[in-house]
Structure 1
Amino acid sequence: MLEIAGPLLDALDSGHRVAVATVTRVLGSAPRTLGTAMAVTEAGTVVGSISGGCVEGEVYALSGEVLADGRCVLTEFGVTDDDAFAAGLSCGGSLEVFVSELAPAGERNALSAGVRSELEAARRGEPAGLAIVVDGPGTGMILPAGAGAAADHDVALDDATARRITAELRALLAAGATATGELACGAREVRVLYVVAAPPPRLLIFGAVDFAAALCDAATLLGYRVTVCDARAVFATPERFPSAHDVVVQWPADYLAATPVDSRTVVCVLTHDEKFDLPLLTVALRLGVGYVGAMGSRRTHERRVGRLTDAGVGPDELARLHSPIGLDLGASTPAETAVSILAEVLAARTGASGAPLARTDGPIHPTRG
């Protein structure tokens, strides 16, 4: 829901009721992730997608029913042997989908002020979180992460349960993770989908070189917030890196030590200059970032590891270093090298092998949800 916040608010502000279909569980191989949403307005306009096109027609029809009577629906889509033409996923997995209605103020299922605030934050690209009760007492209720959320709930949810849901939502928002959970509400269980919109992950590129420009372009397309840092002001200019969000002229190790990072942050060292590389990598390998890669030949890598070891960097820290940077794709140009680097970043983030899919077994998409 949060990834379509802008069009969703536009529709509501135009006076339209909207049915929102949200993925609440993914089993087996499926093309979309937990929390992905699709919306259908009463005028028939569709926003977003919850599959690769496999089930959108069925969800569209179901959304019309929800808009007609205002009731929530929790259903599952997947290929079955009994009916190959039934709505399902051609990739062989299944999706559980929750469809509910949102409406302008004054109508049934009207959008609350707290939920609107979270949607507006998501539209601005800021952190936002919503907890959607998909089964059990309070089904269809949406609790926002913001202040006062626990007080803004259906009478079917007791105050203690609402507060627990909100506390879990805020914890997941801090971690940048969408998830599901179950908790007791009296004698019954409540199933909740926690949908989180986190700030984009950071890609920190050190070295204002041609490879950095290509990496900026490619990483921006993948949704990273890209910073280029170099101590040489003549090279580190916004004009040379138009797709970077920030261009910083500062000693690399000093900048990295002071800038905010998290477990999703990617650090790419492209400088080829030991007076920058060694202190920078010493800092980077001791931070809780998701990926640290350094460009250079195998000979450069061996010399670099020796000097980092002499500087006190331990074996466990050195094991985190991806060097030479990138996957073996036969890349030679800056643009090809950027693809090689980002392919390795993705594989490192997901724990995938990086092997050709034709030579692997099992589902293409990992099990999620």
Structure 2
Amino acid sequence: MIEKEILIQLRRGQTIALITIIDKSGSAPRLPGSKMFVGSDGAITGTIGGGRMEHIACATAVKIAAGDATPELTEIDMRGGGADGDSDMICGGIQLLLIERITPDMVSLFEQALACFADGARGGWLIDISVPKQPLRSFLDMRNDCSLPGLDCRAIIRGRYTRLIQANGKSLVFDPLPKFGTVVLFGGGHVSKEVAWLASAVDFDVVVCDDRPEFSNTDRFPMASATHVLEGFKNLFERIEQGEDHYLLIITRGHSYDQEVLAQVLRTPARYIGMIGSRRKRDICYGNLRDQGFNDADFARVHCPIGLPIGSETPREIAVSITAELIAARAGAL
């Protein structure tokens, strides 16, 4: 989350220029909401897609960070064949960038955003760009039921993507805090250990559950925010949170445990449910669960065999396929 890095700089008394993609048309390398920031010394954190587009934006951002230029909206045309004959930008789209000056007196604003992020990310940035050279940034914390007349902020947060909107006679950018999601690993074996590292590396929160203490602890899973030991995988959600931003992975050491866990996770609103195993194992498990009242609509939520079909064999390769599928689920590409 780039706001964390920005806050570090602000607490050091540094002023930076924040570049945000706020709108796009056609094909472009990054979506609205993608960000990077640049210091007055030219140091860069993050990316908005690289290449010539990023180079142009950064050159302007250095001046804004140093106070030698005012904030601005800038449109980058990547359709090629422009007046300058630049053949490097041929993606075929147009990106609208907001480049702001972020100063140390905004520390409390970014602290508020980080606190909201830590408590479920139910909030977002509201930027008034009615006067482009004087953007006004504020933070809306949905935990406090904050809203604006004529603007359905909650719907935008659920949609996850940054929006350029007109409301109350103003031009506004609503930029929701990112929701990276929580991966819950049921089973702490070899594959789970590799998945935990990869999922953490792409910004998922990781929680581990096993019935054996030696397979669910912070020494084995130092990247996990929590580890649980639950006998027989019973009553999972008395200890483990559940929600629409959860990704539940069933990777236990036995068929009976997989079935036990699946019967519980199918009753949650999880964004993703995956179960390791062969199609034969899956069909046996589903057949047994039908006797408990589950049906085809329930089983349609389950990704089994788990992971994208990339011919993986080793635990690390299997983890790559699983993590790739998690990324696709988070992006709405499944």
How far the C-alpha of 1:284 sits from its partner, in A, is 1.1
* CA displacement, residues 217-249 of structure 1 (integer Å, 9 cap, x when unaligned): 221112111112112234333333343332210
* CA displacement, residues 274-313 of structure 1 (integer Å, 9 cap, x when unaligned): 4322232122122111111111222211111100111111
- Per the alignment, residue 149 of structure 2 pairs with 164
Q: 1:317 to 1:216 in 2, by over 3 A?
A: same
Structure-2 separation of matches of 1:103 and 1:6: 15
Give secondary structure in 2 for the equivalent of 1:205.
strand
**Does residue 262 in structure 1 map to residue 243 in structure 2?**
yes
Given candidates 306, 312, 316, the residue that maps to 1:331 is 312
1:1-369 to structure 2, matched below 5 A, reads 3-64=1-62, 66=64, 67-83=67-83, 85-86=85-86, 89-105=89-105, 111=106, 113=108, 115-119=109-113, 121=115, 127=121, 129-135=124-130, 140-146=135-141, 163-164=148-149, 168-169=152-153, 172-173=156-157, 175=158, 177-185=160-168, 188=169, 190-198=170-178, 200-251=180-231, 252-256=233-237, 258-352=239-333
TM-score between the two structures when normalised by the length of structure 1: 0.76
Which 10-residue stretch deviates more, 300-309 or 210-219? 210-219
Q: 1:38 to 1:232 in 2, by over 3 A?
A: closer
Q: 1:254 to 1:138 in 2, by over 3 A?
A: farther
* CA displacement, residues 175-213 of structure 1 (integer Å, 9 cap, x when unaligned): 48233152343xx4x232222324541111112221211
Which 10-residue stretch deviates more, 331-340 or 16-25? 16-25
How far the C-alpha of 1:170 sits from its partner, in A, is 6.0
The question of whether the paired residues in 2 share the 8 Å contact of 1:79 and 1:88 is answered with: no
The code of the aligned residue for 1:177 comes to R
Which 10-residue stretch deviates more, 202-211 or 68-77? 68-77
TM-score between the two structures when normalised by the length of structure 2: 0.83
How far the C-alpha of 1:119 sits from its partner, in A, is 5.0
Q: 1:179 to 1:299 in 2, by over 3 A?
A: same
Q: 1:40 to 1:236 in 2, by over 3 A?
A: closer
RMSD: 3.4
Which 10-residue stretch deviates more, 37-46 or 306-315? 37-46
The question of whether the paired residues in 2 share the 8 Å contact of 1:78 and 1:92 is answered with: yes
How far the C-alpha of 1:41 sits from its partner, in A, is 3.1
Which 10-residue stretch deviates more, 15-24 or 84-93? 84-93
Q: Flag structure 1 segments of 5+ consecutive residues without an equivalent.
A: 106-110, 152-161, 354-369
The question of whether the paired residues in 1 share the 8 Å contact of 2:22 and 2:164 is answered with: no
Identity percentage of aligned residues: 26
Q: 1:112 to 1:34 in 2, by over 3 A?
A: same
